[in-house]
Amino acid sequence: MVAGLADGTIDAIASDHSPWDQDSKRLPFSSASCGIVGLETLLPLSLELYHNRHLTLIEVLRRLTVAPARILGLGIGRLAPGAPADFVIFDAGAKGRIQTETFRSKSKNAPFDGRPITGRVERTVVDGRTIFERRRVTVVLAVVVGYLLGSIPFGLVLTRARGAGRRQKNRLGQHRRDQCAAHRQQGSGGANLGVRCR
């Protein structure tokens, strides 16, 4: 399957999201309902193709967004003037582990429970409205993907927000402490800076 994605035999990646309640799954195999939760694991599992160097990041995103829309003949799958603002902001380097008990879906049946992953959705926007947000995103490297493809596919964009706000705050705090230390030596206590040094 990976080889098929790499050589273009397989055009698209889909989640086949088909959740079921626990009672419908806890049955003998032949009687259990078919399907698993796929939506919440789609991005991190697909990113394994990128992290394992089977596909470039652009190729992974193309197979998740532009390609399915083209196959289905839908006028969606990219950000463009007048189109719905549907996009996802994600951190491709965030490490974690799939934990089915934290799924937003009411269904928890997934064979990947406990699997280590690299990549995490930070925000989901549908028609311009944020419907999911993990935390505030401060630095977004989004437009690289869009420029390379001519538009941002399904708005999937790459973020390096993790720790950026903290680093900026630490830099500002250190700068202020350095200023205060210099003014203490001069005996001004920071009065010339208009800041209060402790």
Each residue's pLDDT tens digit, 99-158: 998 888 888 888 899 999 999 998 888 888 898 888 654 434 443 344 444 444 444 444
Task: Round to whole Å and give the CA distance between 37 and 118.
Answer: 19
Annotation marks residue 127 as catalytic: no
Please tell me the least confidently modeled range out of 14-28, 92-106, 126-140, 177-191.
177-191
Each residue's pLDDT tens digit, 24-72: 888 898 998 888 888 899 999 999 999 999 999 999 999 998 899 899 9
Q: Does domain 2-162 have CATH number 3.20.20.140?
A: yes
Catalytic hit among 11, 16, 21, 178 = 16
pLDDT of res. 172? 41
More confident residue, 39 or 195: 39
More confident residue, 6 or 185: 6
Q: In terms of residues, how long is the chain?
A: 198
pLDDT of res. 177? 53
pLDDT of res. 97? 96
